[in-house]
Amino acid sequence: MTRIAANGIQLEYDESGPKNGVPLLFINGFGTQMTGWPDEFFQALADARMRVVRFDNRDVGLSQKWDGQIPKKDAPPPYTLDDMAADAAGLLDALGIASAHIAGCSMGGMIAQLVALNHPEKARSLISVFSTTSDRSLPPSSPEAQAALMTAPASNDRESVVAHSLKGRRAYASTRWPFDETRLGAMVGRNYDRAFYPEGTKRQWAAIVAAPARTERLKSLALPTLVLHGSVDTLIRPEAGRHTASVIAGSEYHEIEGWGHDMPLGAIAEVCGYIVDFVKRVEASSSPAARSTAPGTTSLSGSRS
């Protein structure tokens, strides 16, 4: 992992897979570091010959912080989701990647949608993972999931933060796979040690709340799109995934039974299988010029798990 200047700020990023692989940019969700999903997920994509780029969004992890800029009611937020989309596009520029498949989960899916809309030259496709158009007509989170997202731990010591995170994660966890408290607790602890910075989540939340719905803009999006959602997601309901797919013409939608708002190890093969299959089809249908970022760019190998 290393820092790089992108869009006028400093972003911490990481790459896996071959340098000449098919590029895929993955954008994490609200308050989540790039280490917040299991390494096995990214390795599965890298094993399929993708050049997988992930990064810490601004105000989280080891990327640049907006210290002291506290959001105020009825005032513009310190930054917007459009600014965060510009960060993602800027990272690709900084890495010399002309275009990539743009994937994002939850808030990261919102940002990925804005990369596709605001920076169309950077997007080979859009992969929206348990995310939303932010349309106000969509059903809200369950009370338990909302509380998990919005309440703070009893204190900011490591033990309290880990316990609070595990309690919250149970509120929107998958039901098809066991809740692995030991593995998740270890991951939350590592992320705490890496960069515990709750102030940044307040500004990210302000950016989410201030963002207008993207429904009408997405209706004009002419880009291969894959939408993945879980049938038991209580944080961003499956209706949001169905709505996203319904407003983007020609999009592909898969609702995974028993999947919540998380990434258990048992879900990786199925989720990555959909992504790899989709990217392979997009690459195969595009022109050689669109598929290449540099001489010697490889094609994807392997089949869906």
State the CATH number of the domain containing residue 79: 3.40.50.1820
Token pair listed for 252: 């592909």
Does 304 fall in a domain? no
Question: Domain count of the chain?
Answer: 1
Angle between helices 268-285 and 39-47 (to 10 degrees): 40
**Amino acid identity for residue 234 in this structure:** T
Q: Can you give the pLDDT at residue 300?
A: 54
Query: Has residue 165 been placed in a domain?
Result: no
Any domain includes 156: no
The H-or-E segment that residue 6 falls in is: strand 2-6
Residue 235 lies in a domain: yes
Find all residues with CB under 8 Å of 162, minimum gap 6, and list them. 185, 188, 189, 192
Answer yes or no: is 147 within a domain: no
Please check whether residue 280 lies inside any domain of the structure: yes
143 occurs within a structural domain:
no
Per-residue pLDDT of the chain (305 residues; tens, 9 = 90+): 699 999 999 999 999 999 999 999 999 999 999 999 999 999 999 999 999 999 999 999 999 999 999 999 889 999 999 999 999 999 999 999 999 999 999 999 999 999 999 999 999 999 999 999 999 999 999 999 999 988 999 999 999 999 999 999 999 999 999 999 999 999 999 999 999 999 999 999 999 999 999 999 999 999 999 999 999 999 999 999 999 999 999 999 999 999 999 999 999 999 999 999 999 999 999 855 444 443 334 445 433 22
- Are the beta carbons of 54 and 62 closer than 8 angstroms? no
Biggest CA–CA distance in the chain, Å, is: 55
* Segments forming the whole domain that contains residue 261: 2-138+199-291
What pLDDT is recorded for position 205? 97
Residue with tokens 């349309």, as numbered in its chain = 135
Does the residue 305 lie in any domain? Answer: no
| String of DSSP letters for 109-138 | HHHHHHHHHH-GGGEEEEEEES-----TTS
What is the tally of helices (H) and strands (E) in the chain?
Answer: 11, 8
Identify the CA nearest to 109 among candidates 243, 287, 303, 267.
243
pLDDT the model gives residue 258: 98
Sequence-ordered list of residues with C-beta below 8 angstroms from that of 45, at least 6 positions apart, any chain: 16, 17, 24, 52, 272, 275, 276
205-209 contacts at long range (C-beta below 8 A, 24 or more positions apart): 205/30, 205/71, 206/71, 206/77, 206/78, 207/77, 207/78, 207/79, 207/80, 207/81, 207/83, 207/84, 208/30, 208/81, 208/107, 208/110, 208/134, 209/77
Rounded to an integer, what is the distance from CA 259 to the centroid of its chain?
A: 16
For CA atoms 109, 167, 66, 93, the dihedral sign is negative
Q: Give pTM, 2 decimals.
A: 0.93
- In three-state secondary structure terms, 278 is helix
